[in-house]
Chain A
């Protein structure tokens, strides 16, 4: 077993800020295994940042921020009563606790096995892409095909949602699942094309190469691809104006209509988790990834910090859409997806080829 500890210690995240504390903790018999495991680079990437811990942080802040921002736009105050001194930020925790202790109702017509397991299964396509999303020295798997693999894994989430709608065996859930399927095809192809355009531009699917080549951020090199990616992100995470599969006034949260308690809590956060993943992808492709101002005291923690911060700021900005737009109809959204968005995504590929062939790219 000492060999195991050595392997982990050799490949540990080096953060000068907490290094003295880590040194102390590594001398304590049992704690040293735990500390070494958590700070082991692959585990740190998946569990802390940009993985599970960061997702939880994002969920906590983004839900609160979205409600608070919308409230400000609408001449309201927003969540405040839970933890008044810090502006009601604990509201999300209170909601989560309420979900947790609420009864989970599995109605008689549901296909109970799928109905219960799908919200939990949905975490697989959420957490698996994290393995492939590197944050500088903190990464789990390095691959030349990381970017296509991330896109492919994210594309599994709608499949789970459609399955939820099917397992619910409810009319509204069924209509919602159909809408989700339609939307899936409308945004997925432009999204893949936008990612493809950037891979053509950088000549690689390896995030390390992509980030290294971005001395100028990708959003300036190929703004059309960035625009396509952002619109596709809005469609993919079913945010207004494309909040069509969940449309609560029309089909009462669509595929999720029958879920209650903690299962609803799980499915409700799915869109935010997807938004987080796509923001990370956007940051790597268009915003220069983990490049940023050097902060020596953070050491290895600095690249994940910058990656997370860029993705997070993008999420904060995109939250504003909710208070500006009404919801498009399904056919209008499909028309937009299959005509203009598809067209500009193809143009973005052409732009990338033009840039590569003329040799503009450094």
Chain B
């Protein structure tokens, strides 16, 4: 006995038993993870699957104080097994199926899938149809970006920033209604062209709509984009450096926000994007605010593309002469005769498309005999940047989770397919 007080580290062995539901509900947290968190006095919080603001997706967050140590995604709540469904449908029936993940962005989704068929069958698409496809794709891009801006705003409690983009998006929906007859999910692009020609009046109306949207977005910029509280919430939050963004396979505007100039429309140009003048907005910081600003700038670029399309669109057919249609301006009446018996030659065909939220991959494996795909692989941008999204959460505060979620525009139905 020295008489000195011995300094000992005290720890209380509290029996830790993760709730039984963790196993029965297939929650992707190992037992050791929960026990370790309890012992280190961390806090495990389940965000979702029902959550005000977000879609159906669960993020399991391990918190040290207010800081996120680890974020484990639990997606799949809106999984609809589209790849399997696609194996039981005619090629042409897959068009409406495969645009479902991102209903606002149907132009790009149709385009990606239809180009697979055209590539396999060597179908030449008339120029007017190509311009109309670009028009649809860009309208969808604006609509999706506006939708995501609204979700970002509501995540940060800015209800005006939620309502205004949704109201502006209504103009886009109106334009899509005039072109396709449907507000969303138009299924307008078919192998060999588009379903039917678009009237000159409609194109002029879209020009006016673009003008209106531009004006409204100026107001939106004042109230939301430059709002000091918004800047404070998004600046330097959820940073992905250039190297990290490439490493985690982030795509689309979120990759460009980290300083990588990659856009499929430029790199592997399709349709008439080569003839159109547009810039690819690139950011440097890779934080939430840059990810948002890049998309805001993309809206402006898309509007410029739409103006060019309206100015330059040539006269002519909208359905390829490779398709046996009664009329070259309207597929109605000969739809199934022309398209139902499509059979791809044996082989694998892949296309990359720049959808609104990033690179979209369609890959069809055909056995050469059946009129349905043997296997269809379909990777959406949401699924691609989920890893980057989770990595950018680490080290941020719990309140930042919503801001980062919004800054990625993560859309569970799109990622889960």
Contacts and interface: CB of A to CB of B under 8 A. Distances in A.
Interface string B32-57: 00000000000101000001111000
A258 interface: no
A329 B45 contact: no
B88 interface: no
B233 A250 contact: no
Interface in A213-249: 240-241, 243-244, 247-249
Given A175-B398, A324-B160, A249 B229 contact: no
Interface stretch (A72-80, A123-131, A197-205): A72-80
A183 to B, nearest CB: 13
A325 B227 contact: yes
B164 A74 contact: yes
A329 B400 contact: yes
A252 interface: yes
A70 B154 CA distance: 14
A241 B161 CA distance: 14
Given A75-B167, A171-B43, A322-B159, A249 B233 contact: no
Contacts, number: 81
Nearest to A71: B163
B296 interface: no
Nearest to B153: A326
Contacts of B232: 328-329, 332
A327 interface: yes
28 contacts: A70-B160, A73-B160, A74-B160, A74-B163, A74-B167, A75-B163, A240-B157, A241-B157, A248-B52, A248-B157, A249-B54, A249-B156, A250-B401, A250-B402, A252-B52, A323-B160, A325-B158, A325-B227, A325-B229, A326-B153, A326-B158, A326-B230, A326-B233, A327-B156, A327-B158, A328-B233, A329-B397, A332-B233
B155 interface: yes
A330 interface: yes
A59 to B, nearest CB: 21
A247 B45 contact: no
Interface residues of B, number: 32
Interface of B: 43, 45, 51-54, 66, 153-161, 163-164, 167, 223-224, 227, 229-230, 232-233, 397-402
Interface string A304-334: 0000000000000000001111111111100
B275 to A, nearest CB: 37
Identify whether the interface residues of B are mostly helix, strand, loop, or mixed: helix
Contacts of B157: 240-241, 243, 247-249, 326-327
B233 A329 contact: yes
Interface of A: 70, 73-76, 171-172, 175, 240-241, 243-244, 247-250, 252, 322-332
A326 B229 contact: yes
Contacts of B402: 249-250
A243 B66 CA distance: 17
A330 B398 CA distance: 10
A325 B155 CA distance: 12
Given A74-B163, A171-B43, A326 B156 contact: yes
Given A324-B223, A327-B233, A74 B397 contact: no
A326 B397 CA distance: 17
**7 tightest Cβ-Cβ pairs between the two chains A and B:** A327-B157, A74-B163, A326-B158, A326-B156, A249-B53, A326-B229, A329-B399
A321 to B, nearest CB: 10
A249 B159 contact: no
Contacts of A250: 398-399, 401-402
B163 A326 contact: no
A281 to B, nearest CB: 26
A356 B400 CA distance: 46
Given A325-B229, A328-B232, 9 more contacts: A74-B164, A75-B163, A75-B164, A249-B51, A249-B156, A326-B224, A329-B232, A329-B399, A330-B399
A34 to B, nearest CB: 45
Contacts of B223: 324
Contacts of B167: 74-75
Contacts of A329: 232-233, 397, 399-400
Given A171-B43, A241-B229, A332-B232, A326 B161 contact: yes
Contacts of A172: 45
